[in-house]
Structure 1
Amino acid sequence: MLIPKTFSIFAAASVFGAVSSFAQIKSPAPSPYSELKQVFGVTEFTVEYSRPGVKGREIYGELVPYGKIWRTGANAPTKIAFDSEVSFEGTTVPAGEYVLFTIPAEDEWTVIVYGDAKVGSVAGYDSKNDVARVTVEPIELSDAVENFTIGFDDLADESATLFLDWDDVRVPVKVTVDTTELTAASIQSAMSDIDSWSARNYADAAEFYHKTGKNTELALQWMEKAVSMSPNAFWWQYGYAKMLADHGQTQQAISVSEKSLKAAKAADNAAYIARNEALLAKIR
């Protein structure tokens, strides 16, 4: 059966129209969206925000007024989330998702961790939802930052600095976490299924227990287990040798360190060659 030409033209036009109705135009955003993920200790942070540019404008005191709540970015309030309890400048905040509001001033900024993560703008702000409100002193940057930037600096197991950089101003916020307690709880929970542990599980738990002095005898047993499960892992052999030396088991420590040194040389690993040589020189 032949299809009339007029029908074919109409059908083609209809299909084209349907496709066109779903087409999306992509164009650059004036303030690009950004998502930051950062782990320190065993806690993961996520920050979602937009990054406006200076673009030759006067920022603080003009574009961003002093003394008024700011969404801390552009387009929508900035969101911050973390998966364990943390402390902002000494104020404890439970794990969860929050909005990060700020009140800029020349000499002192107020940083607010806001409990209603669904708030759409500063117009919906209500102080009763403040979970933490801290004050910090801004720092003058030697090199101006064109696009508003949120990041983490001074990373350590128990702390970091959350910073807000824009133009010639940095706003630093000290964030701390109880990584020792979190790690201990994680190990304790995992011990219910210890038969499924890998060599890395044993080694990580051993190093933590040894470092913190929680149970150095058990740490020694766990590191021995890790080495036996992965006999070519010269990095764990070195850790085991150090633990043995700390327990006064010098001859065994020498034997294990020599094995680690031999394997490190075979792998041409300069770092562990040097570590083992230094350990052997100390304990022989």
Structure 2
Amino acid sequence: MKKAILSIAVFAISLISSTEVTAQEFSKLDVSPMDASAYPKNWRDADKLVKVVYSRPQLKGRSLEKLAPKDKVWRTGANEAAEITFYKDVTFGDKEVKAGTYTLFTIPTDGDWTVILSTHKNIWGSYFYKQDQDVVRVSGKVSKSEKSIEAFSIAFNGEENNATMHLGWANTIVSIPVKG
């Protein structure tokens, strides 16, 4: 009798457990998927200078100005505001920045863009941006891409501890030096 009760109890518990697992609902694939870019790029090199985690919106026939309006603070991507981590003290643009994690905002303009590092972290978009939380503002040099870049992208290139971060979207590339 004890074995029968024990068997029924084990069966009931396994039935409840399997129902909970299969009842879990997973989110659909985000249309602006999260991505990360780091320098040095080689995944085998653990001694990183910088890493950016951001979401990648796509143009889908829309203009860059519609998605990242001129003269307004932009989250530098989609969804949550992009976060940038410096693993050592750096010169970002022309400003000294301590190692740490910051939120990355930009202000698109007709000329060079303003690139902002903020202490306000884990925020959605730029809706809650506060200028008094800026660490630095630097100028990002704008150049034009020969090919249109459909999905917003961030990439690094450089040598040793001298890198350049490139933000690319549509036919616009914004470049900021990062030196360790």
For the aligned pair, the TM-score class normalised by the smaller chain equals 0.7 to 0.9
CA distances 1:78-135 after superposition (whole Å, capped 9, x unpaired): 0000111111221110111101000011222100011223344412211121111012
- What corresponds to 1:104 in structure 2? 108
Q: Unaligned regions of 5+ residues in structure 1, if any?
A: 178-284
Counterparts of residues 195-234 of structure 1 (less than 5 Å)? none
What number of residue pairs does the alignment pair up?
Answer: 170
Counterparts of residues 158-197 of structure 1 (less than 5 Å)? 158-177=161-180
Q: Which amino acid aligns with 2:106?
A: T
Bigger share in helix: 1
CA distances 1:228-251 after superposition (whole Å, capped 9, x unpaired): xxxxxxxxxxxxxxxxxxxxxxxx
Q: Which amino acid aligns with 2:56?
A: R
Picking from 64, 68, 73, the partner of 2:68 is: 64
Q: Unaligned regions of 5+ residues in structure 2, if any?
A: 42-46
- The structure number with the bigger radius of gyration is 1
1:118 match: secondary structure? coil
Tell me the percent identity: 32
The alignment status of 1:54 with 2:56, answered yes or no, reads: no
Structure with the bigger RCO (C-alpha within 8 Å, sep 6+) is 2
Bigger share in strand: 2
CA RMSD of aligned residues (A): 2.6
Picking from 127, 145, 157, the partner of 2:160 is: 157
2:127 match: secondary structure? helix
- What corresponds to 1:44 in structure 2? 49
Q: Deviation of residue 16 (structure 1)? A: 5.2
**Distance (Å, rounded) in 2 between the aligned partners of 1:162 and 1:112:** 13
- What corresponds to 1:249 in structure 2? none
Counterparts of residues 254-273 of structure 1 (less than 5 Å)? none
**Distance (Å, rounded) in 2 between the aligned partners of 1:158 and 1:16:** 51
Q: Deviation of residue 38 (structure 1)? A: 1.7
**Distance (Å, rounded) in 2 between the aligned partners of 1:53 and 1:45:** 24
TM-score (norm 1): 0.54
TM-score (norm 2): 0.82
- Runs of 4+ aligned structure 1 residues displaced above 3 Å come to 11-17, 118-121
